[in-house]
Structure 1
Amino acid sequence: MRASLRQRMIEVCQRKIAQKGEGVGVSFYAFFANRNDDPELLMEAATWWIQTQRLDHFEKARKIIALVEAMK
């Protein structure tokens, strides 16, 4: 997964935690605008989320941060 996507995922998860608390859940759609302006990047995130990690639709933001940071 490209570094820019990993960074975006961490930033979004941290922002969601700051806004809604430690137990907040996110889906991979949280990392994108409401319109599909970068289908390749969306598919990259979806592939990592669904096929590589086998995550549920919603997962705890802390879990996503830990998974992404383990990739570095």
Structure 2
Amino acid sequence: MTPSLKAKIIAVCEAKIAQKGATVGLSFYAFFKNKNINPELLMEAATWWIKTHELDHFEKAIKIKKLVAL
């Protein structure tokens, strides 16, 4: 995963947690404002989410933040 995508995921997770609490869930589309603006980056996130970690469509933001920080 690219450093810029890692940073973006962590920032989005932190913002969502701050806004809605530790139990907030999100999908990988949350990092792209639910739009397909950058297909390559979207596929990188989707591959990490679906193939690498076999995550459900919605996961807790705190879990995602921990996985990215590893």
- Provide the TM-score with structure 1 as the length reference: 0.93
Match for residue 44 of structure 1? 44
Extract unaligned runs of 5+ from structure 2: none
CA contact (8 A) 2:10 2:65 kept: yes
Match for residue 4 of structure 1? 4
Match for residue 35 of structure 1? 35
Deviations 1:10-38 (A, max 9, x none): 00000000000010001000000343111
Extract unaligned runs of 5+ from structure 1: none
Q: How many residues matched?
A: 70
Moved over 4 A (4+): none
Match for residue 16 of structure 1? 16
Q: Percent identity?
A: 66
- Provide the TM-score with structure 2 as the length reference: 0.96
Partners of 1:33 and 1:59 in 2: CA distance: 16
Match for residue 25 of structure 2? 25
CA contact (8 A) 2:26 2:58 kept: yes
Offset, 1:41: 0.2
Residue identity in the other structure for 2:28: F
